[in-house]
Structure 1
Amino acid sequence: QIKQPSFWHGIALETFLNDALEYVQHDTTIQGRRLHQALTLLKAAFEKLNKQYIVLVKDIHLYDFNADTPGNGFRSFVNIAGEVKIAVSQLCQQIVSHLTCCSTKQCKKDHFSQEVEVWVQAIESLSSILEYVNTKLLSCCHDGYLYPAEIALFPEDINNADCDYPRPDPDELLAMISTLDLTPFYGKRLGFHFPPSLRNMLSKLNFVMASFSHMFYSTGGKISRSGQFMSNAYRYRSNLEVRSQRIVDVIDNCTVDFVKSFWSFGEVGIMKKVPALLGKSLSVNVPIIVPCEEMTATRLDDGSTLVIPVPHSHLPPAPIKCHLLSKHAREEMVNSFCCKRKCLPKSDHLLIHFHGGGFVTQSTNAQEPFLREWAHALEVPILSCDYTLSPEAKYPRPLEEALTVYCWALNNLNLLGTNANTIVLTGDSAGGNMITGLTIKCIELGIRPPDGLYLAYTPFIFDLMPAPARLLAVMDPMLPFAFALRCLKAYAGDRMKKSTENSSPIPTPPVENYSKRPKFCSIPLGTTPLHYGGEQSLKDEFSTVVIEDDHYLSALKCPKHILSKFPSTAIMTVEYDFCLDDNVTMGKKLKSVGVDVTVDILNKLPHGFMNLCLVSKEAMDGVKSSIERLKDLFGITN
């Protein structure tokens, strides 16, 4: 039986609350009465939260990957409740201390009242989430399963297990979320459960999001839109309440086009040059165009040649842009003849990377901050793929491109400066999902699979199925819940009739057709204003969405005989990641079939944290831990 977390200062908080209430209960001023009322509401909200905590904390250890790796969605909410306790305890102490010592006691009563009132709103919403988790999800998550049996178990094992448990209803989850007041989580209480350095950076990102939304959704030319950005930026900098309301409106009502444009904001102008200016220097950082042509691969069982068709789903075939990054120039490597230093011998290793971004945005450039750290520390060539993005390139187009790039790399190792004795595939978020599907493809086709996988905060199930960790996205400043759903819909939802395989020769289109990336002053902007407050809720928007369902997208549904052939796998996720339960469940399934697997759960970091490694010490520490796991996969010793 696990002990209660040491930070759960329930008794202490109750004492601090009572002290504060006692101090202001006889204050007859307007400010004093307001503060007393706010503290009374805070005490009631805390009691409600405490009841939900007591139910939740008892069995959270049953859902961990193992005793040495504590972490799951239930535990994350317990930890968030603990962070609330600490913050509110400190606030109550500040109230008593200030009112005791300050000679002008009226000066900050309104300030403290506002702080307490915002906490009341946040705790009420958090209590509603915990109530849903306790009443709807705990009853569905038995025997340590974080998902229903059809996901948590292998198909062949379901009949042998006691699986007669209720299945959570996605529509009920969406309806519950629509009733929550989320403004505290995007205003004064934004990122309260993250370290101060990350909290500050996340606040700046949300400030930019609120301001950018006016530029995106306003009408007029570039000058008019830029004016909208600047005027609202001044307002949002000084008024957190107005900013948080705008962010919630945008999250609830924006289109995937806004998500694409906002996340591309850091890849234009001087922002695109930041990794090169602040990151590690590299001898090789060059684009590579993988041609649009059939690839060949050798089957391992009989040595026969397998022809890989040209990627053709949804869009005409087109070349695929990649980037080669390396600390050292190596023999025969692309661009090595331009290097002033002597080339090193070919590397024994190769790291192939697919970027995250919800399948709809970002590129190698956006992830250069940590890719440069990897290339410098590992001294291994890195091939990073800029696959074509959704919603134009829906599933399975990016997976087709991933297979093409992988086979091209196997056939052109000299150009990459490697012998490829060891090949490791890596991806974060959407990229992790792609390399998992790619590995399954390699196993099924019988071609050389990778020798290792490094999967960072990866979604392993494409389903609206509720899970404890998925509710963490409700208060996630990096990837809010509605953003995640719209990315899911853009990539794998509402698919048209599947295209049939075309084995006939396909002419290579001009290079201009490959996936376009944002350039300075070329971020696409909206053509209509933001419409919010309408009749369509999240439930209405997503309840009729049909999600593509196969084991390339949802590796948790992969048959046992396929998963058992996976290479050594290192899974990294974070404590407050909406994909946390996917990662824990995937780790358990791989372990159950004898795969060498590790699961690392990093504390107090958000989904996508590696992109912030140049501006956050905690994020950089997380990147350094990923380097150690990659060294293990390559067998590199210091």
Structure 2
Amino acid sequence: MLYMIFKELHSVMDDNIVFYKQQNSTETTQRCVKLFSRVKDLARLLEPMLKSFSEFYHVFDFDVDTPGNGYRSLTKVVYFTRFRKERKAMKMEVYCSALEQLSVMVSFAWRLLNANPKGQLFFKDDQALSVAFVDEYFHMKRACFYGRSLPYCDLCFIGVAAGSLLSSGKYAMDPELCGEKFEEITKDINVQLLKGFWNITETEALAAIAKISSVPVHVNKEISFLPESFTLPLTSTTSQYLTVPVPLTYSGRAPIQMRLISHKLLEGQESQELNNLVKSSGTSAKAERKLKKDLAPKSKHLVVHFHGGGFVAHTSKSHEPYLKSWARDLGIPILSVDYSLSPETPFPRALEECFYAYCWALKNCSMLGWTGDYVCLAGDSAGGNLCLTVSLRAAACGIRIPDGIMAAYPATLLKATPLPSRLLATFDLLLPLSVLMKCLGAYTGKAKHYSWRDTGLLFICISLLTNVWFKTKCSF
């Protein structure tokens, strides 16, 4: 057995050495030739020693029925290290599958490039391609991207894929199974499960750790009050006003929740008017009395913050650490809005509450420790979307628009329009496109349902010259 294995190894190494020596001499080909020669040398060294081991296996076995000892183990280690061809084949199959999926994405990108006018990135005209983009690309098999071909995924998603610590071991040992499980979970994930997973950062344990490691601030007040309509002057004329409506969609009149963060206690933040609205304060009454003696003047600037979380998760609580750092580094107050989440209260409830909170801040600048001079909206992901939509609504209503917007990776083009960058979402690890669409479906109140079918996907790129069948999903 060992003789045949080493004979085959020598033959394969000789063939590879001849092949690479015939190629153009580069650093890579020279390294390959050196590597294969080294393997041959090691094989010549190992073969006689392992052969001698085989002659004495039985001497050191526990008994006839228990063939086991260190010599056998050493031989098996060498065997599995060098000669597990089925493992190599499995690895090649996974990479081949990944290459096939990448070919589909490149084909879509190739068609986009040729169908669009020169220099046009956004795709507008061919509705058929948008349908193909959803029906084929959006639901192609993605397990190959989450397993062996991307080794760092193994540990990243064991917890998500396994569901429990007791069963996570099998996913750690089997990259293909881990990839398939992750694809299965993210493909048909329940929004409530997604909310629970993303809201892990909202738990008391993690919040306590974040509080210890975050920057200390003097003001961290949770504000809650039942909204009442009020007026704001229009920017075009001082004689006309806009009546800011109370958010009523879906859940009716409900408390507006916000968090005021400031590194120092600013003038106005100690007012009884504000304290009447405070649900919870991170500062004791004794500490507040001490801080009142060192009141800082009002800030000329205010940041109104809308947190991210795919419209379905998070509150200002889990975003506190970086907001506290902003408050210290910028020396300004920050008002973070805890808007209602989907799918319980879909669009436009969150927009209504964020717009109301922005208008309320303009109206009540004094109690926030702000002079009313400059205001900036800030938000990430879903929060970035709300920054833009609140600003658009303010402009449409004719009231003051923010002096600046800091929208980090905002969700803007919410249609299933094919774009080159969106093709990469096939194997996005943090936010797969299927998860993103679940969030958008929950926010818009128009979640789609899918059923399985087998369908053929023709590679669009002419150079491929072949049809490849995939197991995909289609929307009805």
Match for residue 206 of structure 1?
157
Match for residue 140 of structure 1?
115
Match for residue 409 of structure 2?
457
Answer whether contact 1:168 1:466 (CA < 8 A) is retained: no
The aligned amino acid for 1:28 is E
Q: Counterparts of 2:427 and 2:149 in 1: how far apart (Å)?
A: 10
Answer whether contact 1:275 1:369 (CA < 8 A) is retained: yes
> Which digits, 9 at most, give the CA deviation of each residue in 1:236-265, with x for residues without a partner?
334332222111011122222222122112
Q: Counterparts of 2:244 and 2:348 in 1: how far apart (Å)?
A: 14
Residues 211 and 279 of structure 1: CA distance in aligned 2, closer, same or farther (over 3 Å): farther
Match for residue 420 of structure 2?
468
Q: Counterparts of 1:538 and 1:321 in 2: how far apart (Å)?
A: 43
Match for residue 442 of structure 1?
394
Q: Give the one of 485, 488, 500 matched to 2:437.
A: 485
Are 1:309 and 2:245 counterparts? yes
SS of residue paired to 2:253:
coil
Q: Note the C-alpha offset of 1:172.
A: 0.6
Instruction: Give matches, 1:68-467, under 5 Å.
Output: 99=39, 106=79, 107-110=81-84, 115-135=91-111, 137-149=112-124, 166-167=126-127, 169-177=129-137, 180-190=140-150, 204-212=155-163, 229-303=164-238, 304-333=240-269, 338-339=287-288, 340-341=290-291, 342-467=294-419
Match for residue 24 of structure 2?
none
The aligned amino acid for 1:328 is K
SS of residue paired to 2:314:
coil
Match for residue 575 of structure 1?
none
Instruction: Give matches, 1:564-603, under 5 Å.
Output: none
Residues 477 and 30 of structure 1: CA distance in aligned 2, closer, same or farther (over 3 Å): farther
The aligned amino acid for 1:383 is L
Answer whether contact 2:384 2:411 (CA < 8 A) is retained: yes
> Which digits, 9 at most, give the CA deviation of each residue in 1:454-494, with x for residues without a partner?
11111212211111112222111111110111111111143
Answer whether contact 1:355 1:364 (CA < 8 A) is retained: yes
The aligned amino acid for 1:329 is L
Residues 399 and 532 of structure 1: CA distance in aligned 2, closer, same or farther (over 3 Å): closer
Q: Note the C-alpha offset of 1:441.
A: 0.7
Q: Note the C-alpha offset of 1:383.
A: 0.8
SS of residue paired to 2:136:
helix
Q: Note the C-alpha offset of 1:139.
A: 2.6
Number of matched pairs: 388
Answer whether contact 1:290 1:408 (CA < 8 A) is retained: no
Q: Counterparts of 1:128 and 1:283 in 2: how far apart (Å)?
A: 55
Q: Counterparts of 1:121 and 1:30 in 2: how far apart (Å)?
A: 30
Q: Note the C-alpha offset of 1:125.
A: 1.8
> Which digits, 9 at most, give the CA deviation of each residue in 1:198-253, with x for residues without a partner?
x6xx76552222134xxxxxxxxxxxxxxxx2322333334332222111011122
Q: Counterparts of 1:466 and 1:268 in 2: how far apart (Å)?
A: 37
The aligned amino acid for 1:487 is C
Q: Note the C-alpha offset of 1:423.
A: 0.4
Sequence identity of aligned pairs in percent?
30
Answer whether contact 1:288 1:324 (CA < 8 A) is retained: yes
Residues 169 and 238 of structure 1: CA distance in aligned 2, closer, same or farther (over 3 Å): same
Q: Counterparts of 1:378 and 1:391 in 2: how far apart (Å)?
A: 35
Q: Note the C-alpha offset of 1:411.
A: 1.6
Residues 415 and 535 of structure 1: CA distance in aligned 2, closer, same or farther (over 3 Å): farther
Answer whether contact 2:140 2:472 (CA < 8 A) is retained: no
SS of residue paired to 1:466:
coil
Q: Counterparts of 1:254 and 1:345 in 2: how far apart (Å)?
A: 50
> Which digits, 9 at most, give the CA deviation of each residue in 1:116-175, with x for residues without a partner?
44333323322221122112x2133323222135xxxxxxxxxxxxxxx54453321123
Q: Counterparts of 1:240 and 1:357 in 2: how far apart (Å)?
A: 29
Residues 295 and 184 of structure 1: CA distance in aligned 2, closer, same or farther (over 3 Å): farther
Q: Note the C-alpha offset of 1:394.
A: 1.0
Answer whether contact 1:139 1:166 (CA < 8 A) is retained: no
SS of residue paired to 1:343:
coil
SS of residue paired to 2:120:
coil
Instruction: Give matches, 1:17-32, under 5 Å.
Output: 28=8
Q: Counterparts of 2:412 and 2:256 in 1: how far apart (Å)?
A: 25
Q: Counterparts of 1:267 and 1:31 in 2: how far apart (Å)?
A: 60
Runs (5+) with no aligned partner, structure 2: 1-5, 20-27, 47-77, 271-280, 455-470
Q: Counterparts of 2:36 and 2:320 in 1: how far apart (Å)?
A: 48
Answer whether contact 1:287 1:324 (CA < 8 A) is retained: yes
Answer whether contact 1:381 1:418 (CA < 8 A) is retained: yes
**TM-score, normalised with respect to structure 1:** 0.55
Answer whether contact 1:95 1:112 (CA < 8 A) is retained: no
Q: Note the C-alpha offset of 1:326.
A: 1.8
SS of residue paired to 1:231:
coil
Higher gyration radius (CA): 2
Answer whether contact 2:312 2:342 (CA < 8 A) is retained: yes
Answer whether contact 1:358 1:488 (CA < 8 A) is retained: yes
Q: Note the C-alpha offset of 1:27.
A: 6.8
RMSD between aligned residues: 3.5
> Which digits, 9 at most, give the CA deviation of each residue in 1:587-617, with x for residues without a partner?
xxxxxxxxxxxxxxxxxxxxxxxxxxxxxxx
Q: Counterparts of 1:94 and 1:471 in 2: how far apart (Å)?
A: 39
Residues 284 and 239 of structure 1: CA distance in aligned 2, closer, same or farther (over 3 Å): farther
**TM-score, normalised with respect to structure 2:** 0.72
Q: Counterparts of 2:451 and 2:11 in 1: how far apart (Å)?
A: 33
Q: Note the C-alpha offset of 1:94.
A: 11
Residues 120 and 383 of structure 1: CA distance in aligned 2, closer, same or farther (over 3 Å): same
Q: Counterparts of 2:306 and 2:400 in 1: how far apart (Å)?
A: 18
SS of residue paired to 1:333:
coil
Q: Counterparts of 1:412 and 1:267 in 2: how far apart (Å)?
A: 29
The aligned amino acid for 2:201 is G
